[in-house]
A and B are shown apart, each in its own frame.
Chain A
Amino acid sequence: MTKVEAVVIRERVETVIDAVEHETGHVGVTVTEAIGHGRQRGVTHEYRGRVFESRFLPKALLTFVVEDSLVDAVVGAIVDAARSGNESGDGLVWTTPVDNVTHHRTGTPLERAAVER
C-alpha cells in the first residue's frame, strides 16, 4: 500500500477529493487543517500601522492510503485538481510506501485482504 499526501489550498479540498474518486475510484481520505509556506513565504499583514509578514498560509493536508496500482492515477488526479493557476502556493503531493495497513473493524491487513480477494 502507498500513502499519498498532498498539501493543497483550502478552497480545493473538495475538488481534489472528488477528482481522486472520479478518476481512480479510490474512496477514503483524511483531511488535516494545516499552515505552512513554500517559496511564496506567507502573507503580508498589517496591525496598527505596522507591516509584518506571517510565514504561514492556511492549507490542508490530505492523506490517502491507496493500492500500489492506483498511485500514478491518484497523483495525476491530485495534481490536476489542485492547480489553481496562481504563480505559487498550490502545494505539493508526494508518496510513501506504508506497511501493515489494517482496518480496525476486521483486523485484517489490507494487503493480505487484497491478495485473498
Chain B
Amino acid sequence: MNTTDLLIAANTVWVVVAAVLVMFMQAGFALLEAGLTRMKNAAHIAGKNVLIFGIASLVYWAVGFGLAFGDGNSVIGTHGFFPSVDAMLAVGKAPFTFFTGIPGAAAYLFEVVFAGVSLAIVWGAMAERAKLWVYFAFGVVFTLIYSVVSHWVWDSSGWLFGLGMQDFAGSTVVHYQGALAALAGALLLGPRIGKFGKDGRANPIPGHNMPYAVLGTLILWFGWFGFNPGSTLAVVTGHRIGYFGYVALTTNLAAAAGAIGGIVSAWTILRKPDVSMMLNGVLAALVAITAASGFVAPWAAIVIGLVSGLVAVVGVVFVERIGIDDPIGAVAVHGMSGVWGTLATGLFAVPALAANLSTGRGGLVYTGSFHQLGVQAVGLAAVGVFTFSASFASLWVMKALWGIRVEPETETAGLDVSEHGMWGYPEFYIPVPGGYGTESHGHLLGHVHGVPSLAPAPAVATASALEPSG
C-alpha cells in the first residue's frame, strides 16, 4: 500500500463512522417527535422514523444517489442508477467520479443518511394527522426532490456549486428543504382538531414526555458530530490534516450557544425558561452551523448559535401566530434557522478557510463584499421555489385524488389505536398475563360456563397473542 491507499483507507473509516452517527439521528428524531406530541400517537410517530428511513434508503440507492452525485450535467446526475458492485467499490471512477477519496459504497452510506434526516424533518410539521400511505408516496417523491437539489449545491458539476454557494453539510440542502416540504404539508393538512379556537387563538397542545424530547435532542447533538465533521468526506482537507476536528469544534460551540440563546430568549420573551424552547434552540443552532461549520471562526459559531436560539423561539411563536400548526416546530427550527445559517455563512466565512475548501469566497465581515451573501441568497431563493412548489404540487395532487388527512374520529382516538391497532403505552389497557380475565388465571380454567358473557373473547385471544412467537 502506498500513501494514497492509506489515505483512502483512513477517509473511509472516518466517513463510515460519521455515516453511522448520522443514521443514529433517526433515534433522536423518534424520541424528540414522540416526546413533543401526544401519548395517543407515540408509537406511530416514533415508528414512522424507521419507515421513512427504509423508504429513503431504497429510493436513494435506486435513483437518488445517481441523481445527486452521478456524473451528469449542472442540473441532475444522469448516471449511477441502480449502482453496480464495481461502481460501489471503485474510488473516483465513473459513474461517481465526484468522490475521489472514498469508495462509492461509503459515499452512498454517508449521503443516504442525510436524505433520511431531510425526510424525517418533513413529518414534524405534519405530525398527528397524516394518513400512513402518504409517508410511502411522499417519502419517494421527496427523496427525489432532495436528490436533485443536493446535486445543485454539492456535486462539483452542480450549478449552485459552480456559483460558489457555501453549504458545508446542508443547512439549505437538508434542513431548509425538509422544512419547505413540511410547510407545504402543514398548509395542505390544516391544523389538528382543537389547535385553533373559533376566535383563531392558538391552543397549546403540550407534548407528553419532556425527558424523551431532551434525550432526542442530545442524540441529535451527538449525531451532528457525524453530520458536519463527516462532510469533510476525508481526513485531510485541502492542506489541513484532521480538519474534521475543527468542524466538530464549531458545531459544538454553536449548539452550546443555541441552548443558552434558546432558554434566555424563552425566559425574556415568553416569561418562562421553557425546556422545549431550549431544545429548539440547540437544534436551530445545529441547523444553522451546518452550512457554516467548515467556513467560520469559533466566535462566529457562537454568534450563529446565539441568534439561532432567538430565531427558534420567535419562529415557533410566529408560525403559530399566522395559523400554521407545526407540532414539532420544523418550519422554525429547520426552515428559518436553515435560512439564517446559510446567510450567516455569507457573513462570517473566513477567506482562508473558504480558499482551503475551494468553495466560494470570504464573507461580508472579512471582505466587505456582498458577493458571497448574494450567492447564498440566490441559492436559498432557487431551492425555496423549486422544493416548495414541487412538494406542494405533489401533496396537492395526493390530497385532491385520495386525501392525505385521517378522518376526525381517527385523529381524536389517536393514530396508535386507529391506524395500527395498538397503544404506545398499552399496559394499562390490556389484561395482565396470568391476571384476571386471562386463560392462565385459575378462575377461567375448566369453567367455560363461568366466563362472564360480557367479554368472552379477550381472555382466549389475549393469551394466544402472548404465546412465544419463535
Contact = CB atoms under 8 A, between A and B. Distances in A.
Nearest to B456: A53
Interface string B448-465: 000000110110011011
Interface string B419-431: 0111100101111
B412 interface: yes
A31 to B, nearest CB: 16
Interface stretch (A36-44, A65-73, A74-82, A91-99): A36-44
A19 to B, nearest CB: 16
A27 to B, nearest CB: 21
A52 B458 contact: yes
SS class, residues of chain B in contact with chain A: loop
Interface residues of B, number: 21
Nearest to A55: B455
Contacts of B430: 45, 52, 54
A117 interface: no
SS class, residues of chain A in contact with chain B: strand
Contacts of A56: 428-429
Contact of A43 (B417, B437, B461, B462): B417
Contacts, number: 53
B422 A46 contact: yes
Counting chain B CB atoms within 10 Å of each CB, the highest count among A43, A52, A53 belongs to: A52
Given A44-B421, A45-B421, A54 B465 contact: no
B2 interface: no
B359 to A, nearest CB: 50
B237 to A, nearest CB: 49
Contacts of B412: 11
Interface residues of A, number: 20
A45 B455 contact: no
A46 B418 CA distance: 10
Ranked 9 nearest A-B pairs via Cβ: A46-B421, A50-B465, A52-B461, A53-B458, A54-B429, A52-B462, A52-B465, A56-B429, A45-B421
9 contacts: A42-B458, A46-B420, A52-B430, A52-B457, A52-B458, A52-B462, A53-B455, A53-B457, A54-B429
Interface of A: 11, 35, 37, 41-48, 50-58
Interface of B: 412, 417, 420-423, 426, 428-431, 437, 454-455, 457-458, 461-462, 464-465, 469
